Amino acid sequence: MAVVRKTRYSAADIQVLEGLEPVRKRPAMYIGGVDASGYHHLLWEILDNSVDEVINGYAARIEVTLHKDGKTVTVTDDGRGIPVDVMPKYKKPALEVILTTLHSGGKFEQGNYIHSGGLHGVGASVVNALSSSLIVRVKRDGKHHVQTYAKGFATSKLKTEGKARGTGTTVTFTPDAEIFGVKAKFDPELIRDRLEAKSYLHRGMIVVFREETRSPAREETYQHDGGIAEYLAKVVTQRGKNTVPAAQKVPPPAASEPIATTEEGLPEAELTAQGGEIPSVPPVAAMQIPAGALFYKQSEGDFRLEIALVWTEATDEHLRSYVNGIPTPNGGTHEAGLRSGIVKAVRNYIETHGLGPKGVTLTAEDIREGICGILSSYVVDPQFQGQTKGRLNNPETTAQVEGVVRPALEKWLNDTKTVAEPIIARIILAARAREASRAAAQQVTRKTAVSHRLNLPGKLADCASTNPQESELFIVEGDSAGGSAKQGRDRRTQAILPLRGKVLNAEQASTEKIGQNKELQDIVSALGCGIGEDFKAANLRYGKIFLLMDADSDGHHISTLLLTFFYRHMRELIRNGSVFIAQPPLYKIEVGKDTYWALDDADRARILKDHAKGNAKPNIMRFKGLGEMTADELKSTTLDPKRRLALRVTIPEEAALDTERTINDLLGKDVSARFKFIMERAGEVKELDV
Give CA–CA dist 445/532, Å, rounded.
11
Phi, psi of 619 (to 5 degrees): -105, 115
User: Which are the contacts of 347, defined by CB distance < 8 A and separation ≥ 6?
Assistant: 362, 367
DSSP code of residue 384 = B
What three-state secondary structure class fits 124?
helix
d(CA 52, CA 327): 14
- How far lies 303's CA from each of 266, 299, 380, 478, in Å? 19, 8, 7, 62
Residues sharing a CB contact under 8 Å with residue 378, sequence separation 6 or more, in sequence order = 55, 115, 303, 304, 305, 323, 324
Angle, helices 333-352 vs 417-444, to 10°: value is: 100
Distance CA 576, CA 579 (A): 8
β-strand partners of 582: 646
CA distance 324 to 116: 6
Note whether 244 and 313 are within 8 A (CB): yes
Cβ atoms of residues 149 and 82 within 8 Å: no
Task: Decide if 269 contacts 218 (C-beta within 8 A).
Answer: no
Q: Around 196, how many Cα atoms within 13 Å sit in the side-chain half-sphere?
A: 12
Instruction: Calculate the CA 388 to chain-centre distance.
Output: 15
Catalytic residue positions, numbered: 477, 550, 552, 554
| Cα 136 to the center of its chain, rounded Å | 33
Q: How many CB atoms lie within 10 A of CB 140?
A: 20
Task: Please name the residues in contact with 193: beta carbons below 8 A apart, sequence gap of 6 or more.
Answer: none
Question: Any idea what DSSP says for residue 425?
Answer: H
Cβ-proximal residues to 365 (8 Å cutoff; 6+ apart), any chain? 317, 434
Look at the chain and count its residues.
690
d(CA 535, CA 545): 16
Q: Is 441 exposed, middle or buried (0-12, 13-18, 19+ CB in 10 A)?
A: buried
Question: What totals of helices (H) and strands (E) does the chain contain, helices first?
Answer: 23, 26
For the stretch 72-103, what's the b/e string if a residue is b when 16 or more beta carbons lie within 10 angstroms of its beta carbon?
Answer: bbbbbbbbbbbbbeeeeeeebbbbbbbbbbbe
Strand partners, 137: 146, 170
Q: CA-CA distance, 298 to 306, in Å (whole number)?
A: 4
Q: What are the backbone angles phi and psi of residue 371, rounded to the nearest 5°?
A: -70, 135
Q: Which residues contact 528 (CB under 8 A, 6 or more apart)?
A: 445, 446, 447, 448, 449, 539, 540, 541
Query: Could you give the CA distance from residue 82 to residue 93 in angstroms, rounded to a whole number?
Result: 10
What are the distances in angstroms from CA 161 to CA 76, 77, 138, 145, 612? 17, 19, 10, 6, 68
